[in-house]
Amino acid sequence: MSDKVSHYREYMPKQAKDICDVIGILPTIALVKQYGGQSIYVASRSDAPSCIKLAECIGEEAVNLLSRYVAGGYLSIPICTKVLRAKRNDELRTEFDRLTMLEKMSSREAVKTLIRFFEQPIHERQIWRILKSTNG
Protein backbone atom coordinates (compact mmCIF):
# COMPACT_ATOMS: atom_id res chain seq x y z
CA MET A 1 0.00 0.00 0.00
CA SER A 2 1.39 3.37 -1.03
CA ASP A 3 2.35 5.75 1.79
CA LYS A 4 0.50 8.48 -0.08
CA VAL A 5 -2.89 6.80 0.45
CA SER A 6 -2.28 4.48 3.40
CA HIS A 7 -3.12 7.23 5.92
CA TYR A 8 -6.75 7.29 4.69
CA ARG A 9 -7.29 3.99 6.47
CA GLU A 10 -6.99 5.67 9.89
CA TYR A 11 -10.12 7.73 9.07
CA MET A 12 -12.20 4.69 8.11
CA PRO A 13 -14.85 3.06 10.28
CA LYS A 14 -14.44 -0.65 10.95
CA GLN A 15 -16.74 -1.77 8.14
CA ALA A 16 -14.75 0.24 5.58
CA LYS A 17 -11.50 -1.19 6.96
CA ASP A 18 -12.93 -4.69 6.50
CA ILE A 19 -13.75 -3.92 2.87
CA CYS A 20 -10.31 -2.35 2.47
CA ASP A 21 -8.69 -5.57 3.73
CA VAL A 22 -10.46 -7.45 0.93
CA ILE A 23 -10.16 -5.14 -2.10
CA GLY A 24 -7.53 -2.55 -1.15
CA ILE A 25 -7.68 1.11 -0.23
CA LEU A 26 -8.16 2.79 -3.62
CA PRO A 27 -11.06 0.54 -4.72
CA THR A 28 -12.62 1.03 -1.27
CA ILE A 29 -12.43 4.81 -1.62
CA ALA A 30 -13.98 4.58 -5.11
CA LEU A 31 -16.73 2.35 -3.70
CA VAL A 32 -17.42 4.80 -0.88
CA LYS A 33 -17.44 7.76 -3.25
CA GLN A 34 -19.94 6.08 -5.58
CA TYR A 35 -22.11 4.08 -3.15
CA GLY A 36 -21.50 5.51 0.35
CA GLY A 37 -24.63 5.36 2.51
CA GLN A 38 -26.20 2.57 0.44
CA SER A 39 -26.50 -1.18 0.58
CA ILE A 40 -25.42 -2.77 -2.68
CA TYR A 41 -26.03 -6.27 -3.94
CA VAL A 42 -22.86 -8.19 -4.75
CA ALA A 43 -23.56 -11.38 -6.68
CA SER A 44 -21.57 -14.52 -6.00
CA ARG A 45 -20.56 -14.59 -9.68
CA SER A 46 -18.48 -11.67 -10.87
CA ASP A 47 -20.02 -11.88 -14.36
CA ALA A 48 -23.52 -11.07 -13.02
CA PRO A 49 -25.03 -7.75 -14.22
CA SER A 50 -24.71 -6.11 -10.78
CA CYS A 51 -21.01 -6.99 -10.65
CA ILE A 52 -20.36 -5.78 -14.18
CA LYS A 53 -21.73 -2.36 -13.20
CA LEU A 54 -19.68 -2.44 -10.00
CA ALA A 55 -16.53 -3.25 -12.00
CA GLU A 56 -16.88 0.09 -13.79
CA CYS A 57 -16.37 1.74 -10.41
CA ILE A 58 -13.76 -0.43 -8.68
CA GLY A 59 -12.29 -2.68 -11.38
CA GLU A 60 -12.71 -6.35 -12.21
CA GLU A 61 -10.09 -7.65 -9.80
CA ALA A 62 -11.73 -5.87 -6.85
CA VAL A 63 -15.17 -7.15 -7.91
CA ASN A 64 -13.85 -10.72 -8.04
CA LEU A 65 -12.47 -10.37 -4.51
CA LEU A 66 -15.62 -8.67 -3.23
CA SER A 67 -17.95 -11.26 -4.79
CA ARG A 68 -16.02 -14.03 -3.03
CA TYR A 69 -16.14 -12.07 0.25
CA VAL A 70 -19.87 -11.25 0.14
CA ALA A 71 -20.89 -14.41 -1.76
CA GLY A 72 -24.23 -13.21 -3.09
CA GLY A 73 -25.61 -10.76 -0.60
CA TYR A 74 -25.97 -7.13 0.33
CA LEU A 75 -23.04 -5.05 1.50
CA SER A 76 -23.64 -1.83 3.40
CA ILE A 77 -21.20 0.85 2.25
CA PRO A 78 -20.34 3.42 4.93
CA ILE A 79 -20.29 7.12 4.02
CA CYS A 80 -16.72 7.76 5.29
CA THR A 81 -16.94 11.55 5.34
CA LYS A 82 -13.51 11.88 6.99
CA VAL A 83 -11.82 9.75 4.33
CA LEU A 84 -13.40 11.68 1.47
CA ARG A 85 -12.47 14.99 3.11
CA ALA A 86 -8.86 13.89 3.67
CA LYS A 87 -8.60 12.73 0.04
CA ARG A 88 -10.10 16.00 -1.21
CA ASN A 89 -7.64 18.00 0.90
CA ASP A 90 -4.68 16.00 -0.39
CA GLU A 91 -5.84 16.50 -3.97
CA LEU A 92 -6.26 20.22 -3.31
CA ARG A 93 -2.70 20.53 -1.94
CA THR A 94 -1.30 18.59 -4.90
CA GLU A 95 -3.16 20.75 -7.41
CA PHE A 96 -2.08 23.93 -5.61
CA ASP A 97 1.55 22.82 -5.85
CA ARG A 98 1.12 22.03 -9.55
CA LEU A 99 -0.48 25.40 -10.27
CA THR A 100 2.12 27.40 -8.36
CA MET A 101 5.23 25.44 -9.31
CA LEU A 102 4.57 24.19 -12.84
CA GLU A 103 2.01 26.70 -14.09
CA LYS A 104 3.81 29.55 -12.27
CA MET A 105 0.56 31.00 -10.89
CA SER A 106 0.63 33.21 -7.85
CA SER A 107 -0.81 31.70 -4.67
CA ARG A 108 -3.88 33.92 -4.95
CA GLU A 109 -4.51 32.93 -8.57
CA ALA A 110 -4.13 29.26 -7.68
CA VAL A 111 -6.61 29.53 -4.80
CA LYS A 112 -9.15 31.27 -7.05
CA THR A 113 -8.74 28.44 -9.57
CA LEU A 114 -9.16 25.81 -6.83
CA ILE A 115 -12.50 27.24 -5.67
CA ARG A 116 -14.23 25.39 -8.53
CA PHE A 117 -11.78 22.47 -8.81
CA PHE A 118 -14.16 20.02 -7.07
CA GLU A 119 -17.81 19.14 -7.67
CA GLN A 120 -18.85 21.35 -4.79
CA PRO A 121 -17.04 24.69 -4.74
CA ILE A 122 -14.98 25.44 -1.64
CA HIS A 123 -14.71 28.95 -0.22
CA GLU A 124 -11.29 30.51 -0.60
CA ARG A 125 -10.94 30.91 3.19
CA GLN A 126 -11.42 27.16 3.57
CA ILE A 127 -8.83 26.49 0.87
CA TRP A 128 -6.29 28.64 2.75
CA ARG A 129 -7.09 26.72 5.98
CA ILE A 130 -6.55 23.41 4.19
CA LEU A 131 -3.28 24.58 2.66
CA LYS A 132 -1.99 25.73 6.04
CA SER A 133 -2.95 22.51 7.84
CA THR A 134 -0.73 19.45 7.77
CA ASN A 135 -3.30 16.74 8.39
CA GLY A 136 -6.25 15.39 6.35
Task: Give the domain range for residue 62.
Answer: 3-79
Residue 102 contacts by C-beta under 8 Å, 6 or more apart in sequence? none
Residues 68 and 100 in one domain: no
CB count in 10 Å sphere of residue 49: 9
Number of other residues whose CB lies within 10 A of the CB of residue 81: 12
Answer yes or no: do 61 and 107 share one domain.
no
Among 37, 64, 79, the domain-final residue is 79
Tell me, yes or no, whether 39 and 66 share the same domain: yes
Tell me whether residue 119 is exposed, middle or buried, using C-beta atoms within 10 angstroms of its C-beta: 0 to 12, 13 to 18, 19 or more: exposed
**pLDDT, tens digit, for every residue of 8-38?**
889 999 999 999 999 999 999 999 999 999 9
Asked if 24 and 1 count as a contact pair (C-beta separation under 8 A), the reply is yes
Q: What is the pTM of this model?
A: 0.79
